[in-house]
Amino acid sequence: MAAFGAARTKDSFLQARYKRLTARRGPIRVLVAVEHSIITAIWHMLNDNVPYRELGGSYFTQRDPERAARRAVCRLNELGYRVILDPMDAAG
């Protein structure tokens, strides 16, 4: 039940993990995967004697932004849109 509550917590790493995996695995299997993530985090917290550090809901996007862009483009292509990416300048 902790996994279900964690999956419903807004803007959290566990919610992002749940959403990413649900599309491929199905909700019940994903709840088990989220439970495994919780247990792994607890083990590391107890073993290393450190507090829990929330990674945030945008963790996967920040970790690999190019992959997130590819997934978005592929999804839009599946919906029938042609996408041309034009990166913005770093200065703004």
Domain ranges of the chain: 2-57, 63-92
Q: Report how far residue 7's alpha carbon sits from residue 23's, in angstroms, rounded to the nearest whole number.
A: 14
Segment 79-90, tens digit of pLDDT: 999 988 888 876
Is residue 14 within 8 A of residue 38, CB to CB? The reply is yes
Three-class SS state of 54: coil
Segment 21-67, tens digit of pLDDT: 998 898 899 999 999 999 999 999 999 999 999 998 888 888 888 98
Residue 8: both structure tokens together: 């419903």
Is residue 14 within 8 A of residue 6, CB to CB? The reply is yes
Residue 36: both structure tokens together: 């495994």
Nearest to 56 by CA among 7, 3, 12: 12
